[in-house]
């Protein structure tokens, strides 16, 4: 993850200690927007298990409770290019159940296969993902730009009276003058 000089990064505690995957989550807060980026790693040396999918589902359940837009990226070591593979089907189903879509559509590994992902909410603008071989790893660099705009705050002005300054006689006169009926208030109980 690369950030500019005007951005602030702060750790996000998802409240989970999974055993089948590793993650780091941060809130990126430049001056006009905010987003949570989670980087995920599932070891390729381990089988894809029901425990992984349970922990991944719990991770997303927790992560998506934040009000900020969420981006998920990382090396999941699941061949997502194999659309009929049972692990891919379950992985994509878990993403879809959480309103996320996976955006990488080309090989991300020297040996072929799409093992690395970028996932965002389907109701947000979908960024184009570039897969770049920088020559430093057997995995490719995933690069994308997201334009996130924080809506302007809504302000409301409220005028209130202090009850200690409430004048019952003035209230009763005003009430009678506006309604044409006598309404006598004798005070608060």
Residue 164 lies in a domain: no
Residue 64 backbone dihedrals phi, psi, to 5 degrees:
-85, 5
Q: Do residues 105 and 117 lie in contact, with contact meaning Cβ atoms separated by under 8 Å?
A: no
Residue 180 lies in a domain: no
Residue 110 lies in a domain: yes
Residue 154 lies in a domain: no
In sequence order, the β-bridge partners of residue 74 are 40, 117
Question: What pLDDT score does 166 carry?
Answer: 81
pLDDT tens readout for residues 52-91? 999 999 999 999 998 888 999 999 999 999 999 999 999 9
Instruction: Output b/e per residue, 62-89; b: 16+ Cβ within 10 A.
Output: ebeeeebbbbbbbbbbbbbbeeeeebbe
Average per-residue pLDDT in the chain?
Answer: 86
pLDDT tens readout for residues 114-160? 999 999 988 888 889 999 999 899 999 899 888 766 556 678 887 77
Residue 14 lies in a domain: yes
CATH number of the domain that residue 21 is part of: 3.60.10.10
Domain count, the chain: 1
Q: What percent of the chain has pLDDT over 70?
A: 86
Q: Which domain holds residue 124?
A: 8-143
- Whether the per-residue pLDDT at 5 is higher than 60: the answer is no
Question: What pLDDT score does 156 carry?
Answer: 82
């Amino acid at each position: 993850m690369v950030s500019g000089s005007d951005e602030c990064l702060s750790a996000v505690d998802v409240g989970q200690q999974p055993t089948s995957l590793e993650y780091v989550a941060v809130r990126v807060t430049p001056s006009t927007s905010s987003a949570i980026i989670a980087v995920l790693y599932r070891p390729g040396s381990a089988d894809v298990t029901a425990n992984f999918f349970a922990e991944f589902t719990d991770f997303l359940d927790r992560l998506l409770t934040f009000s900020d837009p969420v981006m998920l990226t990382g090396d999941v070591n699941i061949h997502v290019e194999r659309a009929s593979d049972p692990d891919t089907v379950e992985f994509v189903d878990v993403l879809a159940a959480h309103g996320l879509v996976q955006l990488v559509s080309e090989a991300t590994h020297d040996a072929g296969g799409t093992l690395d992902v970028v996932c965002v909410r389907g109701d947000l603008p979908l960024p184009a993902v570039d897969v770049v071989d920088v020559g430093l790893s057997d995995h490719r660099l995933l690069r994308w730009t997201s334009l996130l705009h924080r809506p302007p705050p809504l302000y409301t002005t409220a005028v209130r009276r202090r009850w200690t300054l409430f004048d019952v006689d003035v209230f009763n006169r005003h009430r009678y003058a506006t309604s044409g009926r006598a309404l006598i208030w004798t005070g608060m109980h």
